[in-house]
Structure 1
Amino acid sequence: MARKNNKSKAEKPIEPQSDVEDLEKDEEELELEKIVFGDLDGFETGLKALDLDNFGDDEGDNDEDGELSDREIEGSDADNDFGAVQDDNLFFVDDSAAAAGMDISDDEDISGSDVDDSDNESDFTDPDSVLDVHGGTAAWIDSDDEKLQVSLKSSDKLKKLRKSLADNVVDGKEYTRRLRSRFEKMYPVPKWARQEEPKSKGKSDSNSSDEEDNDIEMDDSEEPRALTADPLAKLLTTQSTYISKSIPRLLPPSVLDITRLKDANSSLVSKSGVQTLDFHPTHPLLLSGGYDRTLRMYHIDGKSNPVATSLHVRSSPFQTALFHKDGTKVFAGGRRRNLYIWDIETGKVDTITRMYGHEDSQKSMEKFRLSPDGQYIGLIGSGGWVNILSTASGQWVTGAKVEGVIADIAWHKTGNFSNLSIVNTGGDIWEWDSRARKFSDKWKDEGGLGVTTMSIGGKNDRWCAVGSASGIVNVYDRKNPVVGMKLSEAEAPIYKPKAVLDQLVTSISSLQFSPDGQMLAMGSRAKKDSFRIAHVPSFTVFKNWPTSGTPLGRVTSVAFTPGTEMICAGNDAGKARLWKFNHYS
Structure 2
Amino acid sequence: MRSKSGQTNQNVEMGQAKMKTDSGQAKMKNKTGKQKKTGVLKKNFGKQNQKTWAKMGKKGPGFSIDTMGSHDRKGKADSWKGVQYKATNTFISHREVNRERELVEDLFGDVDLPEVESTEKEEPMFVDQPKMDKDKKGPGLIPDDPYDLHLDDKTTSQKKPAWVDEDDDNIRVKDVMANMFKMRGKRGAREVSDEKYEKMLKEKFELVMGSTPEWAQLDRKIEKDSDDEGDFNRRTGNYISSEGPSRLPKSVLEYKMLSDLNCSTYAEGAIIKGVEFNPLFQVALVAGFSKTNGSATLFQVDGLHNHKIQSMKFPRFPIKCAKFFKDGRRFVVGSDLYGHFFVYDMEGGKEIKIPWNKSGDRRCMKKFVISPDGELLLFFGSKSLIHIFDTKTLSHIDTLQASEEVMSATFNSSGSRMYTHGNGGDVSIWDINSRVCVQKFYDDGCIDGTSVALSPNNQYLACGSSSGIVNIYDTADLTKSVPLPVKILDKLVTPATSLTFNPSSELLAMGSEFKENAFKLVHFPSMTYFTNFPREGTNQGRIQVAQFSPNGGYIAAGNNRGRVRLYRLKHYGSY
TM-score normalised by L of structure 2? 0.56
Preserved contact between residue 259 and residue 303 of structure 2 (Cα < 8 Å): yes
Preserved contact between residue 510 and residue 521 of structure 2 (Cα < 8 Å): yes
Report sequence identity in percent: 29
Change (3 A) 1:386 1:234: same
Is residue 247 of structure 2 the alignment partner of residue 250 of structure 1? Answer: yes
Q: d(CA) in 1 for partners of 2:426 and 2:241?
A: 38
Give the equivalent residue in structure 1 for 2:389. 389
Q: How big is the shift at 1:236?
A: 4.8
Give the equivalent residue in structure 2 for 1:468. 465
Preserved contact between residue 232 and residue 345 of structure 1 (Cα < 8 Å): no
Q: How big is the shift at 1:541?
A: 0.8
Q: d(CA) in 2 for partners of 1:359 and 1:302?
A: 44
Which amino acid letter does the alignment assign opposite residue 291 of structure 1? F
Q: How big is the shift at 1:297?
A: 0.8
Preserved contact between residue 460 and residue 472 of structure 2 (Cα < 8 Å): yes
Give the equivalent residue in structure 1 for 2:455. 457
Q: d(CA) in 1 for partners of 2:454 and 2:275?
A: 17
Q: d(CA) in 1 for partners of 2:436 and 2:488?
A: 31
Q: Which has the larger radius of gyration?
A: 2
Give the equivalent residue in structure 2 for 1:410. 410
Q: d(CA) in 2 for partners of 1:370 and 1:255?
A: 33
- 1:70-89 alignment, distance < 5 Å: none
Q: How big is the shift at 1:304?
A: 0.4
Moved over 6 A (4+): 231-234, 240-245
Q: How big is the shift at 1:234?
A: 12
SS in 2 for 1:479: helix
Q: Which runs of 5+ in 1 are unaligned?
A: 1-189, 192-230, 484-492
Give the equivalent residue in structure 2 for 1:132. none
Preserved contact between residue 207 and residue 300 of structure 2 (Cα < 8 Å): no
Give the equivalent residue in structure 2 for 1:574. 562
Change (3 A) 1:255 1:518: same
**Alignment deviations for residues 17-45 of structure 1 (CA, whole Å, 9 cap, x no partner):** xxxxxxxxxxxxxxxxxxxxxxxxxxxxx
Give the equivalent residue in structure 2 for 1:544. 532
Is residue 499 of structure 2 the alignment partner of residue 511 of structure 1? Answer: yes
Is residue 296 of structure 2 the alignment partner of residue 308 of structure 1? Answer: no
Q: How big is the shift at 1:482?
A: 7.2
Q: d(CA) in 2 for partners of 1:566 and 1:295?
A: 20
Q: d(CA) in 1 for partners of 2:239 and 2:413?
A: 26
SS in 1 for 2:419: strand
- 1:30-179 alignment, distance < 5 Å: none
**Alignment deviations for residues 245-278 of structure 1 (CA, whole Å, 9 cap, x no partner):** 8526311121111111111111011331211111
Q: How big is the shift at 1:378?
A: 0.9
Q: How big is the shift at 1:366?
A: 0.8
Q: d(CA) in 1 for partners of 2:496 and 2:250?
A: 23
SS in 2 for 1:289: strand
Preserved contact between residue 482 and residue 496 of structure 1 (Cα < 8 Å): no
Q: d(CA) in 2 for partners of 1:360 and 1:465?
A: 33
Give the equivalent residue in structure 2 for 1:263. 260
Give the equivalent residue in structure 2 for 1:374. 374
Give the equivalent residue in structure 1 for 2:551. 563
**Alignment deviations for residues 422-465 of structure 1 (CA, whole Å, 9 cap, x no partner):** 22211112111111122221111111212111111231x22211
Change (3 A) 1:250 1:244: closer
Q: Name whichever structure is richer in helix by fraction.
A: 2
Q: d(CA) in 1 for partners of 2:535 and 2:450?
A: 26
**Alignment deviations for residues 268-293 of structure 1 (CA, whole Å, 9 cap, x no partner):** 11331211111000211111111131
Q: d(CA) in 1 for partners of 2:207 and 2:508?
A: 35
SS in 1 for 2:571: helix
Q: d(CA) in 1 for partners of 2:479 and 2:325?
A: 34
Preserved contact between residue 273 and residue 321 of structure 2 (Cα < 8 Å): yes
TM-score normalised by L of structure 1? 0.56
**Alignment deviations for residues 519-575 of structure 1 (CA, whole Å, 9 cap, x no partner):** 000111111111100001111111121122223111111010010001111111111
Is residue 506 of structure 2 the alignment partner of residue 528 of structure 1? Answer: no
Change (3 A) 1:236 1:496: same
Q: How big is the shift at 1:410?
A: 1.6
Q: Which runs of 5+ in 2 are unaligned?
A: 1-180, 183-203, 214-234
Preserved contact between residue 232 and residue 308 of structure 1 (Cα < 8 Å): no
Preserved contact between residue 388 and residue 396 of structure 2 (Cα < 8 Å): yes
How many residues get paired? 345
Is residue 344 of structure 2 the alignment partner of residue 342 of structure 1? Answer: yes
